[in-house]
Amino acid sequence: MKNRLSIKLSIRRLTSLLLLVFLPLTLSMAADKTPTDSPKLTTVQSLYALSTEKQLGSEVLLERYSSESFKQALALERQVAETGMVCGSGGDIMWQSQDTDFQEAVTFAVDAEDRVIVQLSDRDTLSYVLSCEAEHCLIEDIYDFGGSVKEMMLTDCQ
């Protein structure tokens, strides 16, 4: 009985020791895998950095960073706008504004679904869906408070 108790205590001590040694290593490895170097995150951060630096809105920049299907939705919205009508977002999609403040505070994160979340100050949150080949990523859709921006443009601008 005494030997069993001694063995149980030894096993517990060994387990505790292993946890103390390997838990920080495991947490460190998990921290290294946070998506701060994600190509999707880098793409969206670059998009906003260029927008801020050059003071360009989404009507110019989204075309450069978008997939063919998202470009089609943007083109449809632009065609309707050229007739003087308003459809789709009716403003700057990236900045969720008709009077863009390029100096607005923006934060970025990647969610569990691998979407890039953009928080515009404390007023709006956008979710970017991107597809990537190697390190080159393109925007497939953007979700705002109303849902899919691409679906909204395709439906509203027909």
Model confidence over 59-100: pLDDT tens digits? 889 999 999 999 999 999 989 888 888 888 778 999 998 888
Is residue 8 pLDDT above 80, yes or no?
Answer: no
**Residue 118 phi, psi dihedral angles, 5° rounding:** -115, 120
Residue type, position 131, single letter: S
pTM of the model: 0.75
Q: Please, are residues 150 and 135 in contact by the beta-carbon 8 Å criterion? A: no
Q: What is the pLDDT of residue 87?
A: 84
Read off the pLDDT band of 1 (50, 70, 90): low
**Residue 109 phi, psi dihedral angles, 5° rounding:** -155, 165
> What contacts 48, CB < 8 A, 6 or more positions away?
94, 106, 108, 118
Q: What is the pLDDT of residue 36?
A: 62
Q: What is the pLDDT of residue 134?
A: 86
